[in-house]
Amino acid sequence: GEPVRVTLGANQINPLFEEALIGREPGETVTVVLPPEKAYGKFRRKLVVTIKRKKLKLDHEPAPGDLVRVEVMGKPCLVTVVDLDEKSITVDANHPLAGETITYTITVEAILQRAC
């Protein structure tokens, strides 16, 4: 994607990205591999739940794979529809990349000095 400006040490990016970028020069590329626990977490089976349709306030008929907003413990959550029937909908509240090892390739475009 487009370049992102970050300040190292400001907790703006994943700490493993910061660690990989320290000492790099413009034009250098580094690969960072994040295991699930350092990325979007492990897949948690207990976050896949079945909800009765009458408890949901849906504005359209969802299909498997759709994202829908539901309320969990008083807070709105975006979840993925896994399965549905006439009476209930099974949703997954895990992040879509939960349980995945993710590999990032980062290229340093420029190093900007911070104004004092």
Q: Which domain holds residue 28?
A: 1-39+97-116
pLDDT digits (tens, 9 = 90+) for 19-56: 999 999 999 999 999 999 999 999 999 999 999 988 88
pLDDT at 115 over 70: no
pTM above 0.75, yes or no: no
- Sequence-distant (6+) residues with CB within 8 A of 44 are 94, 98
CB 14, CB 34: distance < 8 Å? yes
- Whichever domain contains 63, its CATH number is 2.40.10.330
pLDDT at 95 over 90: yes
Q: Are residues 51 and 68 located together in one domain of the fold?
A: yes
CB 100, CB 39: distance < 8 Å? yes
| Measured distance CA(25)–CA(22) in Å, rounded | 9
Report how many domains make up the chain.
Answer: 2
CA dihedral 105, 111, 115, 116 (to 10 degrees): 90
